[in-house]
């Protein structure tokens, strides 16, 4: 039986009892009064009992009705509180992710009825996790509350504000279609106000925000306007916000169709990388390293290549940063190193193998142990391996980088500083870190063909290497003129397309076989046999 039905039953009992009380009371009460005054006979006991029962029923029915009414009121109050909790963010008092969609749809309907449009604005605090990690969740919560207050202060009365979760906010702002610049002004002011310093328990925080915006511009379907719905606006604003973060944060962007295509391609790349690593789609290619004075081949640098069956050839400049961002660069690199060590075992022992290491890998305190274990597993001499790290690695955790470098060098591995000249390493760092070689960045080398100013810059870099007593390798040699100039600057190694493009393991093996530079192994009869099966002379 429902609450409403029980209310009616209780009310019916009370009403019936009242009617009976009126009927019996009109007869019994005068008789009782006359009897008490000594002027009448004793009233009928049955009628008196009926009257008393009616009184009891009236009291019971009315009390029960009052209790049920109070219970219903309490339940309705609890339901309203539950509804608010389900629609309102308890920390900031704004709408939440569940309620912003229906509220946006209603706002769009109202705006269209009044001849206006609306913009969905997605706001994300940059580096908020760092504030939480360094100062605790109380400080983070205080920052979120202040952010909500600052955004709310900028919004018109009919706008919406929601916290979607974490450090992500959203607001929906109606605007006049004849004045769309108002939303740009709002976004600029929002970035300025939210980015102002804030304090909590003596701590000062300064955070920036990335903002993405999507316009409610009706499209056309069969000749009639079709308004954009809330979910479409949320999706587009989120894409624009992600684009703002990618472009450097602390800025805003309007959604454009190209952003969605780019994001879709990015998603395809992530999926392809996750699938491609265990399928062996990533393979090592090798670029020749040459002694510039003699023209002799000294080794190869291993470069990553992706042979994707669906995406064709993807540049390392594209897939390596993505692999770093999604946490797969370690697995990808280790697979390539395993393949490269096995390939290089077939080369002449005098040829070295150079491998680039991601800054992300150098955050792993166990990296040197992992690499040394791979050398043991493949029986590869550490002295033939050269590890290349970039200058940017020196600014993240110099202590850990020094520990890794020292551990590897103690086992015979050589360490090169790659892309030298493009970073911000100081002379003190170069002297304190045990590097074995510097590699001049290709951007400087390629400019040697442009004039004397470039010559002086590269000569200065070479002189710095001489002063530090570090041998140098020039990258990006693609022109005979460049080679001639470098040969005049001292004893250098070099690499670049002038000597041929990077090749896969099979092509390198064929090249080395023709040059007599494959490793020899012992045959059962004691003779030396090259790894291609030919008997070694002598």
Q: What's residue 120's pLDDT? A: 94
Residue 118 forms part of a structural domain: yes
Q: What's residue 204's pLDDT? A: 84
Of 56, 87, 118, which marks where a domain is finished?
87
Structure-token pair, residue 162: 């929601």
Pair 68, 35 in one domain: yes
Residue 265 forms part of a structural domain: no
Q: What's residue 243's pLDDT? A: 93
pLDDT at 33 over 80: no
CA 267-269-273 angle, 5° bins: 120
Residue 261 forms part of a structural domain: no
Band (21; pLDDT cuts 50, 70, 90)? low
Band (32; pLDDT cuts 50, 70, 90)? low
- Alpha helical stretches, state H, 155-256: 181-194, 230-246
Pair 358, 290 in one domain: yes
- Residue 173 near residue 111 (C-beta atoms within 8 A): no
pLDDT at 70 over 80: no
What residues contact residue 312 under an 8 Å CB cut-off, 6+ apart? none
Q: Which domain holds residue 309?
A: 278-530
Pair 210, 310 in one domain: no
Residue 423 forms part of a structural domain: yes
Pair 305, 347 in one domain: yes
CATH of the domain at 244: 3.30.70.270
pTM given for the model = 0.70
Question: How many CB atoms neighbour CB 394 within 10 A?
Answer: 21
Band (394; pLDDT cuts 50, 70, 90)? confident
Pair 463, 392 in one domain: yes
Pair 206, 301 in one domain: no
Pair 64, 109 in one domain: no
Q: What's residue 532's pLDDT? A: 55
- What mean pLDDT value characterizes the chain? 84
pLDDT at 164 over 50: yes
Least confident of 43-47, 55-59, 293-297: 43-47
Nearest CA to 353 out of 404, 304, 298 is that of 298
Q: Rounded to an integer, what distance in angstroms lies between the CA atom of residue 274 and that of residue 276?
A: 6
Of 255, 286, 321, which marks where a domain is finished?
255
Helix (H) or strand (E) holding 115, with range, is: none
Q: What's residue 225's pLDDT? A: 42
Residue 264 forms part of a structural domain: no
> pLDDT, tens digit, for every residue of 188-212?
999 999 999 988 888 888 889 999 9
Higher pLDDT, 1 or 255: 255
Pair 79, 109 in one domain: no
Structure-token pair, residue 142: 């205080």
pLDDT, mean of residues 272-277: 95
pLDDT at 83 over 70: no
pLDDT at 220 over 60: no
Band (39; pLDDT cuts 50, 70, 90)? low
pLDDT at 265 over 50: yes
Band (523; pLDDT cuts 50, 70, 90)? very low
- Beta partners for 174? 118
pLDDT at 84 over 60: no
Pair 283, 403 in one domain: yes
How many domains would you assign to the chain?
3
CATH of the domain at 347: 3.20.20.450
Pair 103, 83 in one domain: no
Pair 114, 249 in one domain: yes
Q: Rounded to an integer, what distance in angstroms lies between the CA atom of residue 151 and that of residue 190?
A: 7
Residue 119 forms part of a structural domain: yes
Of 220, 255, 290, which marks where a domain is finished?
255
The percentage of the chain sitting over the pLDDT mark of 70, rounded to a whole number, equals: 80
What residues contact residue 257 under an 8 Å CB cut-off, 6+ apart? none
Strand order of the sheet with strand 160-165? Answer: 160-165, 168-175, 117-125, 209-215, 252-254
Residue that is written with structure tokens 């290491």 in the block: 357
Residue 273 forms part of a structural domain: no
Pair 194, 221 in one domain: yes
pLDDT, mean of residues 30-42: 61
Least confident of 6-15, 169-178, 287-296, 487-496: 6-15
Residue 538 forms part of a structural domain: no
Helix (H) or strand (E) holding 286, with range, is: strand 282-291
Q: Rounded to an integer, what distance in angstroms lies between the CA atom of residue 243 and that of residue 247?
A: 6
């Amino acid at each position: 039986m429902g609450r409403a039905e029980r209310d009616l039953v209780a009310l019916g009992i009370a009403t019936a009892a009242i009617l009976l009380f009126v009927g019996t009371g009109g007869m019994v009460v005068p008789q009782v009064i006359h009897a008490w005054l000594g002027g009448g006979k004793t009233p009928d006991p049955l009628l008196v009992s009926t009257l008393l029962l009616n009184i009891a029923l009236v009291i019971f029915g009315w009390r029960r009705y009052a209790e049920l009414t109070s219970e219903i009121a309490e339940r309705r109050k609890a339901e309203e509180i539950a509804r608010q909790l389900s629609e309102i963010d308890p920390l900031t008092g704004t709408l939440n992710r569940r309620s912003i969609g229906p509220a946006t749809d209603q706002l769009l309907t109202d705006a269209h009825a009044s001849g206006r449009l609306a913009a969905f604005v997605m706001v994300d605090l940059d580096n908020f996790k760092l504030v939480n990690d360094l100062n605790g969740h109380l400080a983070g919560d205080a920052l979120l509350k202040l952010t909500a207050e600052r955004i709310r202060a900028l919004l018109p009365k009919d706008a919406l504000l929601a916290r979607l979760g974490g450090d992500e906010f959203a607001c929906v702002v109606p605007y006049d279609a004849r004045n769309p610049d108002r939303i740009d002004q709002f976004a600029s002011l929002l970035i300025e106000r939210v980015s102002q310093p804030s304090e909590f328990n003596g701590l000062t925080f300064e955070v920036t925000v990335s903002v993405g915006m999507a316009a409610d511009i009706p499209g056309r379907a069969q000749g009639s306007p079709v308004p954009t719905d809330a979910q479409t606006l949320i999706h587009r604003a989120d894409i624009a916000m992600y684009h703002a973060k990618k472009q450097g944060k602390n800025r805003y962007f309007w959604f454009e169709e190209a952003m969605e295509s780019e994001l879709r391609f990015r998603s395809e790349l992530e999926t392809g990388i996750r699938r491609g690593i265990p399928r062996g789609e990533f393979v090592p290619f090798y670029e020749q390293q040459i002694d510039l004075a003699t023209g002799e081949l000294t080794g190869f640098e291993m470069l990553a290549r992706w042979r994707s069956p669906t995406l064709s050839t993807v540049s390392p400049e594209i897939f390596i940063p993505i692999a770093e961002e999604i946490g797969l660069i370690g697995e990808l690199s280790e697979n390539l190193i395993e393949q490269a060590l096995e390939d290089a075992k077939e080369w002449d022992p005098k040829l070295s193998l150079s491998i680039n290491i991601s800054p992300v890998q150098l955050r792993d305190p166990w990296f040197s142990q992992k690499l040394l274990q791979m050398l043991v597993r493949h029986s590869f001499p550490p002295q033939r391996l050269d590890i290349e790290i970039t200058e940017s690695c020196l600014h993240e955790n110099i202590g850990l980088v020094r520990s890794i470098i020292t551990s590897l060098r103690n086992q015979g591995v050589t360490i090169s500083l790659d892309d030298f000249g493009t970073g911000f390493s100081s002379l003190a760092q170069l002297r304190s870190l045990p590097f074995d070689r510097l590699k001049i960045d290709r951007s400087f080398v390629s400019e040697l063909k442009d004039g004397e100013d470039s010559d002086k810059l590269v000569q200065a870099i070479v002189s710095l290497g001489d002063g530090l007593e570090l041998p140098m390798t020039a990258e990006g040699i693609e022109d005979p003129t460049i080679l001639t100039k470098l040969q005049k600057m001292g004893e250098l190694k070099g690499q670049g397309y002038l000597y041929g493009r990077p090749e896969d393991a099979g092509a390198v093996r064929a090249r080395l076989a023709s040059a007599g530079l494959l490793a020899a192994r012992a045959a059962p009869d004691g003779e030396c046999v090259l790894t291609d099966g030919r008997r070694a002379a002598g």
